[in-house]
Structure 1
Amino acid sequence: MTIVGVYRPPNLCTVTNFVSEFCEFLEDVIPQNSNLMLMGDFNLHVNDGTHATSEFKNCLFLLGLHQHVDFSTHIGGNVLDLVITEQENGVKIKSCEQGPFLSDHCVVKIVTEIKKENIKSETVSFRNYKNIDKDAFSEDLKSLEIEQIDINEYVCDFENKIQVILDKHAPVTEKTRITRAPKPWFSDSILEKKKSFRKAEKTWKRYKKPEDYHSFQNARNKYFMEIKKVKKQTFSEKVSELKGDSKKLYKFVTEITGSKVQNPTPSGESDNAIADSFADHFMNKISKIRESLKTYPNYEPSVKNVENQPKFDELSEDDVKKIINNMQSKSCELDVLPTVVLKMF
């Protein structure tokens, strides 16, 4: 969670200049931080409806931010103290309430709920085929006996016995791994600068020397500048790529700004009711199409003379091995033995 404290002295600059500079600041700080929260005394009358405050609110909307304070925070009745967070994938404000007036400003009490961003754990199952003892595996395959006559029973018995052999030599192993949503802008150059930044940080924390702190600052600034440059380049290329396709461009802008997307599904009493409504709609369309085609003559395909297939030659064991070895090593869950295992023997 990144918290930014903001204070604008009322006589330091005009409201228009502050809004302009604050929007530029947001464009820099949002891509570099997650779980971002901005709060403080903005000395900005967000409820007065002036052009500057309208620009301020529009800037927050375009950047996917939301301002939570909707009550007066000053004894004059104005909303001057603000709490701003990202609309999506950020800090969730459960409540924002007015507290006591300790001075001419009141306390703003907020309760937050922080969501871990783009991180989840999942359990995967796999077999370690690389460590199979080829000789022992081959012996078990040679000793495989199937006495079924019916082809369906034969296949079922074969699959079951192969499964037992696989469980013996390459048992199923489960592993829990952490996955994160892909970040297309996270390049190798950013990774190298991140390593340098962390290394310099550890050195400074260990020795506390002024020169180490200076090196740490330089590495940190280079890392953040590289993120800003690569993000800008990546997003610009993506926008150029989507030029002319307003639907995809809108979806992309919505994703990177964190804007909320309304559920496009129709309302209904239940999911079953909605599904039945969809089914009735398409059944009616099919009935109308069939009704309109009754006046058309039935299609009769022309008869073609097709030559009979020639007789297939019997393949030898070597021919089968050659075919298997020339196959791509692709498999699916329905394969009894993966192609990569077959090619091992």
Structure 2
Amino acid sequence: MANPCTMTVRQYNREQLLDCRSVPRSYVIPNEETLSLLKNYGILKYRGKRAGQPRIKHNGGVHLANLVQIKLDHTYIQNVHRQRKMKLATVNTRSIRNKSADLLQHILEENIDFCLITETWLQTDGDDVVRGELAQEGFCFDDVPRPDRSGGGIGLLYRDNLKVSSLPSKSYQSFECAEWQICIQTFILRIVGIYRPPYSAKHPVTQATFMTEFTEYLEQVLSQSRSMVILGDFNIHMDMQSDCYTKQFQQCLKSYGLVQHVNTPTHSSGHIIDLIITKKEDKLASVNNLQSNYYISDHCFVSCNIQQFCPPLVTKNIISRNWKCVSKNLLEADLEELNSLAEKSSTVNELVSDFTKTASDIICKHAPLKERSITFRPKLPWYSGYLKQLKQYKRSIEKIYLKDRSDLTKIVYNNVRNSYTAAIASAKDGFYQSRIGEAEGNVRKLYSVTSDLLGRSKDNPLPPHTSETALANDFLRYFSDKILKLRDDLDNINTETSSSVIDSIMASDVPSSENIMNKFIPLNEKDIIKLVSESKTTTCELDVMPTPKLKENLHLIAPVVTEIVNRSLSSGVFPETWKSAVIKPF
């Protein structure tokens, strides 16, 4: 049998074979005729499938077909990344009355969650407006005034998403003290505010007395809570290591397992007197990223972060309609169909009911109600771009002054600081004056502005109730009883007095029969358009259509509105659908 293929035999020596290792491999794909020939001679074989099924590749002993895909909650992941550490601060304002706006703006810019303020100089009575200015929307303010004389006082300004409660504290002769408790889920942090007035004729108390009383206070307070931050103005020069009272104070902190964190000047004189103190072994309230900058008085802000995440910002769910995306032509075409309802209804109640239902369907068709959640971020409404630039200029002059501390730069810095304080105070006063001017003649709006100025709560002051319907019925019963009582009082009036009143009325000019109105004159469409156009643009939540939209499209539905008014006047019937009202107390 002849060999169907001829093969060329080539011989290689050892060196040539070794050289082939460094030469890149080149693969040649044979043609179909060669592959068929190799298969026929049994040289080329294909490996079959196992039991007719392809072999499943296992990855590390795990059967991938048995794994279930888990959907990740990306919202939770985003919230974890957005969380930031809680930031606290302390500052001595030396009267907060004329610095409230500057203080709030700096707290907003630096994302400070709560700030301890010493020397507020607020009194128990007469400073409600200042407290209201500090309790802007998004913030709360609580303070402990000095009881015996003017000056002093400690306050805590914090964001309203924190759960803060005031704690009772003992009074001491050498220093003022105030305590608060902040709860963040399961973490409880005790805030202790300290202000020690310096020795003076009005306060002749030595540092030795302070050390005795402060040691007594630490023995009492350290056993009451696990996590604690003590901060405030101690008026002890911690930068003077050779001072005997400084050494004594440091030894006192060390003996109770406390550590003082501030190591940069906090006063314009270059001393460290505003302190932040925590427990040395408390890892939950450990302090980092400590900063001492921005002088609001002769003291600067001292801020730091603690190892706790801030609670989430306050969110509100609002329901609204997107009128911007509504097609005007399509809406007008549907509104014109409302005029045909007058022919289908016989009474005014039926007409108003059909009008309300059809109009509601049209509004929901073009602008359906949508609920969305918004995150509330507080801001000062009177803070402008000019004030921001002026503050930046003030900070630049402040850095120059703190660097060289010459008399010339001090004068320049004081002038710039006073200009900024006056500008921000003027902007705040102008904002509230314009709001009061806009509320002229509107008692509800004026009451709202006054409540904002005094920092009052914006929640509805409704009495405790379990059902809104029962509460509404109680209000109705109260006013009904008042009317019945008024009628009984009128019936019990003295007869002689009532006769004299009646005679005086009869003696007055009585209108003639020609001027007595015994029927209503029907209105036309022009009268309706004029009356509605001249009315106030106020909207109730029971309205089918917002008043601005009603005025805008009144010419389209004027015929049916005119028919409703004329039917009501002629029949003496007020539509039942329109007898509902929403009552909101001031």
Q: Give the TM-score normalised by structure 1.
A: 0.47
Q: Give the TM-score normalised by structure 2.
A: 0.31
Which structure's CA Rg is the greater one? 2
